[in-house]
Structure 1
Amino acid sequence: MALTSRISLGGDESADPEDFLSTSLGVVFPDDATNQHGDAGHRLVYTSPHLRKPLLLDLADPVGEVDRGLFSHFLWNASLLLAELVERDTLGVGGAAAGPGAGVSFHVGGKAVLELGAGAALPSMMAGLLGARRVVVTDYPAVAVLTTLAANIARNIQPALSPPGAATTPASSILVRGHSWGELPADDAAFCQPNRHAFDRVLVADCLWMPWQHANLHRSVGHFLAATAEARCWIVAGFHTGRGKMRGFFAAGALRAAGLALERIWERDCDGVEREWSWDREDDATVRKRWLVVAVLKRAEGP
């Protein structure tokens, strides 16, 4: 089943020609994949065969150029894939993974989970619906973004939506917080310091398109990820700004400076086909939109 088959626009059908064209690209150009979904004027509907009801997602209405530059007013395919992987492995549905990703588990049951740069926070919602012990959702501290995030989390992480038999994360264990990557003040007794090394799983979806933020993102992952051999950070990202601008995030030296190491990395397209990661592969724009990089970080060993 295609990655984008679970997502649709809710509300009244748009009369905007741009909206009509964007939802018709797969018909007009069969090889073209839509990699961003929705806008602030349309609620998104996420339907999974394993959830009792669809999830209803509002997107932030950006205020000014700073908010708009966050691109959190879209749902991106990286979030769709990470949510699907979490669901697959936590519920044990869909069979064992094949290809380069074989053997990697995205199970969240009983884990403390943090999402960085959450946007619409679909992976966090899936974690909360499937029995994560604790879920904390963070994004840039912009009012429009955090207000929408809080409303989506409250609406969708509900026992009435969880699969039969799944233990929904208690509301008291779900938080939404503003966090700018790399900003970890020692006097922040409200969030950063109490949560140092507090999360078994850190989720990062479509946050690699800004190379000038890579070091800051490394610092945040290293700060919040638990200091255990079992802790993992799961990363999924599209190639929007090109492979060259993304690959520096995975440089061994830069990761080690934050106490991290790359465990696995591969690529997966919107039809579930997997291939080995290549830092210098050259795809045209249409092909590039179909592919995502999937990576797993762990704690670096040794001093």
Structure 2
Amino acid sequence: MADEVDYGFDGLMDDPEDYYPPTPPPTSQVFTMQSGKPITLHLVGASPTEAHHLWNGAKMIADFFEDDPSRVRGKTVLELGAAAGLPSLVAAILGARKVVVTDFPDPDIIKIMQKNIDECDETVEPKGHIADVVDAVGFVWGADPLPLLAHLNPTQPEDPKDRFDILILADLLFRHSEHGALIKTIRETMRVSRDSVAYVFFTSYRPWKKEADERFFDIAREQGFEVEQIAERRLDKPLFENDPGDLEVQKTVRGFAVKWSAEACS
């Protein structure tokens, strides 16, 4: 075969260096507890799972725990879709016995969660306590829960008594297709007791899909859980300014408790 002729077109079809926008850099925010303690929270610069936001639901759950620390003190806590993991860190500061903070198993997200744990640990006495109490783990909703339960009892993760007392779901309900997977994870990880609670706090950021957000609770009731609204807060402004839809709905954060029924616990 004859040698190919070089017409000087090398790289002609290559994308220019600036063809794709660069990935935004990580960001950070400071959340101040009601006690005055600041917590620095790092976030990934961008994420298809929306882990680059510090959601209003997470802030409200953090305040909710601080209003009554007995809600988490001495208890085991699992947070789903945590992003920065603010409620988990506050739970640990307030005396939770064990906290497992989870999000989609993206290495960048897990690294950020661990960074938040490590930096929080440096500001809390005794040093090493937060790092010992809080574990950052990748988890897909609805997946095998045994790797999560193993953090409670590494020697016997299959023991049904070793489940979490408290679950945290902050601003996850906009993912309508995942409602079933979220409830499956609640069912498989929450200790079967009337004292166990899954705290579900959220805003309907897309007001026209508010009913679809709330279907989560219909599914929970259909599966035998009890659902009760326990909190509501009207903010001064929405998280996403200039978004379409009812502004009052966008500014409202609501909190619900999802619990095992008396029949399930008997």
Q: TM-score range by the shorter chain?
A: 0.7 to 0.9
- Pick the aligned partner of 1:48 from 11, 33, 58: 33
Q: Who is 1:250 aligned against?
A: 217
Is residue 294 from structure 1 mapped to residue 255 from structure 2 by the alignment?
yes
- Pick the aligned partner of 2:57 from 78, 93, 104: 78
- Structure 2 spans left out of the alignment, 5+ residues: 1-23, 237-243
Is the partner of 1:124 in helix, strand or coil?
helix
2: CA distance, partners of 1:148 / 1:46: 16
- Pick the aligned partner of 2:104 from 122, 136, 140: 140
* Alpha-carbon shift at residue 186 of structure 1 (Å): 7.0
Aligned partner of 1:255: which letter?
A
Aligned partner of 1:155: which letter?
E
The answer as to whether partners of 1:208 and 1:237 remain within 8 angstroms in 2 is yes
Aligned partner of 1:127: which letter?
A
* Alpha-carbon shift at residue 221 of structure 1 (Å): 1.1
In the comparison of the two structures, how many residue pairs are matched? Answer: 227
Q: Percent identity?
A: 28
Aligned ranges 1:82-97 → 2 under 5 Å: 82-90=61-69
Root mean square deviation of aligned Cα: 2.9
Shift in alpha-carbon separation, 1:258–1:150, aligned structure 2, 3 A: farther
Aligned partner of 1:48: which letter?
M
Shift in alpha-carbon separation, 1:49–1:182, aligned structure 2, 3 A: closer
- Scaled by the length of structure 1, the TM-score of the pair is 0.67
The answer as to whether partners of 1:112 and 1:133 remain within 8 angstroms in 2 is yes
Moved more, 120-129 or 286-295: 286-295
Of the two, which has the highest radius of gyration? Answer: 2
Shift in alpha-carbon separation, 1:265–1:246, aligned structure 2, 3 A: farther
Q: Which has the higher contact order (CA 8 A, sep 6+)?
A: 1
Aligned partner of 1:206: which letter?
D
Aligned ranges 1:1-303 → 2 under 5 Å: 40-52=25-37, 54-62=38-46, 68-90=47-69, 107-158=71-122, 160-161=123-124, 170-184=130-144, 194=157, 198-241=163-206, 242-251=209-218, 254-256=219-221, 258-265=223-230, 267-270=232-235, 284-302=245-263
* Alpha-carbon shift at residue 108 of structure 1 (Å): 0.9
2: CA distance, partners of 1:188 / 1:115: 11
Is the partner of 1:131 in helix, strand or coil?
coil
The answer as to whether partners of 2:27 and 2:45 remain within 8 angstroms in 1 is no
Q: Who is 1:279 aligned against?
A: none
- Scaled by the length of structure 2, the TM-score of the pair is 0.75
The answer as to whether partners of 1:130 and 1:169 remain within 8 angstroms in 2 is no
